[in-house]
């Protein structure tokens, strides 16, 4: 049997400076999660001899990870937002051990790029409303802290974003962010703590 490399506790080394949050990609999480369900999801021939199990690469698993770190960042823009279905590729986040802490990025970038379509300055737009509800439910279910669902100030400079979101100015981006914030304030459970996001492409907008 191959011998595992020595465990490295990166959490214990995090001292006297800002906490770094490694951004967990959906690609990485998929390999960890799906290997738990299907032991042959990853071809054993692809694994280094001292790392026979994909779970050894799960840094949120303090018992089995070769290197472990209890803080991470995961984006709603990459996630399966339907919390009613089992999603093995999300297991690294959804079924993490107690104490493993994850900050949720809301997916505002997806709005800015036009990936999440909808009239985001209209509180009654069905597409925007559904996504807004999904993001909050996902955050409250799985995240410790999360970003508000902000609409980037630069969306009006993105042709795809402008067309897909009906946001054509900085003022409209602020209006849409207000709508998202009001929904979060009125419907959150309190399980996730939210952090504000300040946008602006110049000093005046940033100050505003």
pLDDT number for residue 5: 62
pTM above 0.85, yes or no: yes
Give tens-digit pLDDT for 14-33.
Answer: 887 788 999 999 999 999 99
pLDDT class for 121, splitting at 50, 70, 90?
very high
Enumerate residues 6+ apart whose C-beta is below 8 A from 21: 71, 72, 73, 103
Q: Which residues contact 197 (CB under 8 A, 6 or more apart)?
A: 106, 108, 147, 148, 150
pLDDT in tens, 54-64: 899 999 999 99
CA 71 to chain centre: 13
| Backbone torsion region of residue 114, taken as left when φ is above 0, otherwise alpha when ψ lies between -120 and 50, otherwise beta | left
pLDDT, tens digit, 9 for 90 and up, residues 128-141: 999 999 999 999 99
Say how far apart CA 70 and CA 80 lie, in whole Å.
Answer: 22
Copy the structure tokens of residue 89: 């590729």
The dihedral through the CA atoms of 152, 157, 161, 166 has a sign that is positive
Q: For residue range 156-198, what is the model confidence (pLDDT) as tens digits?
A: 898 999 999 999 999 999 999 999 999 999 999 999 999 998 8
């Amino acid at each position: 049997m191959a011998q595992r490399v020595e465990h490295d506790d990166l959490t214990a080394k995090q001292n006297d400076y800002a906490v770094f949050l490694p951004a967990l990609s959906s690609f990485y999480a998929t390999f960890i999660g799906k290997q738990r369900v299907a032991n042959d999801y990853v071809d054993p021939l692809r694994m280094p001899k001292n790392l026979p199990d994909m779970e050894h690469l799960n840094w949120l698993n303090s018992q089995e990870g070769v290197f472990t770190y209890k803080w991470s960042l995961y984006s709603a823009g990459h996630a399966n937002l339907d919390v009613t279905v089992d999603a093995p590729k999300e297991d690294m986040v959804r079924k993490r051990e107690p104490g493993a802490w994850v900050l949720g990025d809301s997916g505002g970038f997806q709005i800015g790029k036009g990936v999440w379509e909808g009239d985001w300055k209209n509180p009654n737009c069905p597409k925007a409303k559904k996504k807004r509800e999904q993001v909050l439910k996902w955050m409250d279910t799985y995240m410790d802290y999360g970003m508000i669902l902000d609409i980037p100030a630069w969306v009006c400079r993105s042709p795809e974003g402008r067309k897909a979101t009906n946001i054509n100015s900085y003022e409209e981006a602020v209006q849409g962010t207000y709508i998202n914030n009001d929904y979060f304030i009125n419907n959150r459970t309190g399980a996730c703590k939210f952090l504000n996001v300040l946008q602006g492409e110049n000093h005046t907008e940033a100050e505003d």
